[in-house]
Amino acid sequence: KQEVTQIPAALSVPEGENLVLNCSFTDSAIYNLQWFRQDPGKGLTSLLLIQSSQREQTSGRLNASLDKSSGRSTLYIAASQPGDSATYLCAVRPQGGSEKLVFGKGTKLTVNP
Amino acid sequence: EAGVTQSPTHLIKTRGQQATLRCSPISGHTSVYWYQQALGLGLQFLLWYDEGEERNRGNFPPRFSGRQFPNYSSELNVNALELEDSALYLCASSLAIKRGAYEKLFFGSGTQLSVL
């Protein structure tokens, strides 16, 4: 059974700092991994999608990497801003026919001005 | 282009009642997913519809059910509501998986269901 873990559960940093959020998964048989952002009481906004054959994806100040063999992904946020404060979720789409995403519980990021 | 839309945004019910939640996918998307996000539990997969058929369901009791209409919009019904059904219910859509690479999921803003 695929399980996704995100560490740390919460992170507080000063504005301008570069930071890394971690995601690990137990089964490397995945189609892709997706990073989302969730603001309190709101839905999810897709940030980056990495296919299993890819190593990384970049969008603006965000860079996500994927090491499928070791079951790890990182989300790097450069020059953090208070507007980046949110919960960041990673999710994997397992192989094997279930076709559903398996989510981690998220990392709650607070960027202090 | 409109994103995934869900209605209502908030719903208050009492124990034993029924709730109906609605979702309209992005135009051109035929797959619709439902997830439950209860406080402290993370997102749990509920149901997946594709081309009008239920393709998979998560580990939820039968009182959670739904359907997908010919225009690909979807409805989630929760019967005999219990207090622990209180949660944010999120709908997501994507292109059909038969198109090849597994597509990005786009989520709506959710329906906050409160059971009193």
Q: What is the pLDDT of residue B14?
A: 97
Query: Nearest-CA neighbor of B39 among B87, B71, B1?
Result: B87
Q: Would you call B83 helix, strand, or coil by DSSP?
A: helix
Q: What is the pLDDT of residue B100?
A: 46
Longest CA–CA separation in chain B, Å = 44
pLDDT digits (tens, 9 = 90+) for A9-50: 999 999 999 999 999 999 999 988 999 999 988 889 999 999
- Other residues' Cβ atoms within 10 Å of the Cβ of residue B14: 10
pLDDT digits (tens, 9 = 90+) for B10-35: 999 999 999 999 999 999 899 999 99
Query: Nearest-CA neighbor of B112 among B4, B38, B9?
Result: B9
Show Cβ contacts of residue B61 under 8 Å, excluding neighbours closer than 6 positions. none
Q: Chain B residue with minimal CA distance to A105?
A: B42
Could you tell me the two tokens for B19? 């709730």
Q: What are A's interface residues with B at a Cβ cutoff of 8 A? A: 31-32, 34, 36, 41-46, 49, 51, 89, 91, 93, 98-106
User: Which residues from chain B sit within 8 angstroms of residue A89, using beta carbons?
Assistant: 43
Average pLDDT, chain A: 93
Taking 80 as the threshold, does the pLDDT of residue A109 lie above it? Answer: yes
